Amino acid sequence: MSNTALLNLPDYLSPEILLNPEKRKFPEFDVVRLLHTVFEPTKGCRVCILLDFDEPAALIKDFAFLNEDGFPIQKNAYKYFYEALRDHAMARLGMTGGEMFAYRYTRGSNLDLTDEVWDTNGEELSLDRDIYPQYDLILCISTWSATAPLTAKAREFGFRGATLHGLNEVILKSGLAVDYREVSRDAEKLRLALTNADSIEIDFQLQDGRILTASLGLEAQDAQKSHGLCLGEKPDIANLPAGEVYFVPTDANGQFPMKYEDGTLGVLDVKDRCIYRSTLIEGNQATIDAHNARLADDPMTGTLGELGFGTQVLPVSYADIQDEKILGTCHLATGRDDHLGGDILPGMFKKHENATHDDILFAPHKTPNFNLLQVRMNRGEQQEVLIENFRPSEYLMQALAG
């Protein structure tokens, strides 16, 4: 990249910060700044907070969870959102409400929520009757992502909101402390650099030297962005931290590696957009067998519903909600994609608990056993390298400098 182009880049996109994102300086987290930026206008809005628990009735009553071991996400929600809203933020933002409610764990990413919800008096209420129609802004700070179900409910009931699952101290000090107007501008620059791509090819290099390639067909669709702004009065849900450009694949073929939760490594074979087989690289054969059994029992669980690229320079938080937004990473997702404008709906799965949207993140800290060797975009006669060795290409950096 030319020196002239580099001069156009903000400090957080400098080569030094790109190589060492932990050195980036962030302002102190301010819930007023965050909510004003993300949701302008906020004046006149009634706001509430949703949490999740295994035993919501008992744990939300009189904020009993605050006196229990664990529940770091929920305690962060209380400290940084509930208390701040109650003490000063609502008045400064012109909002009312501020109540906190709890629903039962879904135990799966983006599974539909049950309708029962409890208030801090321990009273059982209904999400559809008592929450969704009564609030203008809903903040869901939970263990498992609720972006897909809340997006559907926002369209049905007309509210705006944000999902902030996995909230931790690193996210509060970085991914939620940024200026989302800057995030939105950068995401739009990269969206324009990728939009209408015909296909994306991804090369992965395993430790034994093997190279796996996955090709994803996109049919020249418009790229979409998760940019953190949920402005005006149009029903919408912001997934925070935000900062990605994404597509809904129309086809996928080839192979890509997978690191399972227990550390087992496998190779996933993909044909016609669906994962149909996993083969062990190293680790626990029983983990591979369980995945193959699930694919055989409900093939929809292997359907690829998203291809995403991070657009922000952020430190690793060890929570995918932030780490998949880091520039130089990409992720695939299996399962439902109706919240992204896709055609995979919850009712298409054999069981309710299978209708998840599960991200598979490729990042140095997450998948150190293999390298993201190269990612290429094909758009008509144009072919551009997007990522090499987990680093954004000159093409993407030029787009950000534009």
Tens digit of pLDDT for each residue in 99-150?
A: 999 999 999 999 999 999 999 999 999 999 999 999 999 999 999 999 999 9
| pLDDT for the residue 2 | 44
Percent of residues, the chain, with pLDDT higher than 90: 97
Average pLDDT, the chain: 96
Q: What pairing do the DSSP bridges indicate for beta strands 330-335 and 357-362?
A: antiparallel
Q: Check whether 33 has a pLDDT greater than 80.
A: yes
Tens digit of pLDDT for each residue in 148-180?
A: 999 999 999 999 999 999 999 999 999 999 999
CATH of 31-173, one of 3.30.750, 3.30.420, 3.40.190, 3.40.50: 3.40.50
| pLDDT for the residue 154 | 97
Tens digit of pLDDT for each residue in 58-107?
A: 999 999 999 999 999 999 999 999 999 999 999 999 999 999 999 999 99
Return all residues near 209 (Cβ < 8 A) that are at least 6 apart.
none
Q: Check whether 4 has a pLDDT greater than 90.
A: no
What value does the mean pLDDT take over residues 289-304? 97
Provide the pLDDT confidence category of residue 311 given band limits of 50, 70 and 90: very high
Entry pTM: 0.94
| pLDDT for the residue 233 | 85
Q: Check whether 254 has a pLDDT greater than 60.
A: yes
Domain boundaries, the chain: 31-173, 187-401
Provide the pLDDT confidence category of residue 1 given band limits of 50, 70 and 90: very low
Using alpha carbons, list the distances in angstroms from residue 158 to 38, 208, 231, 290, 396.
17, 52, 13, 40, 36
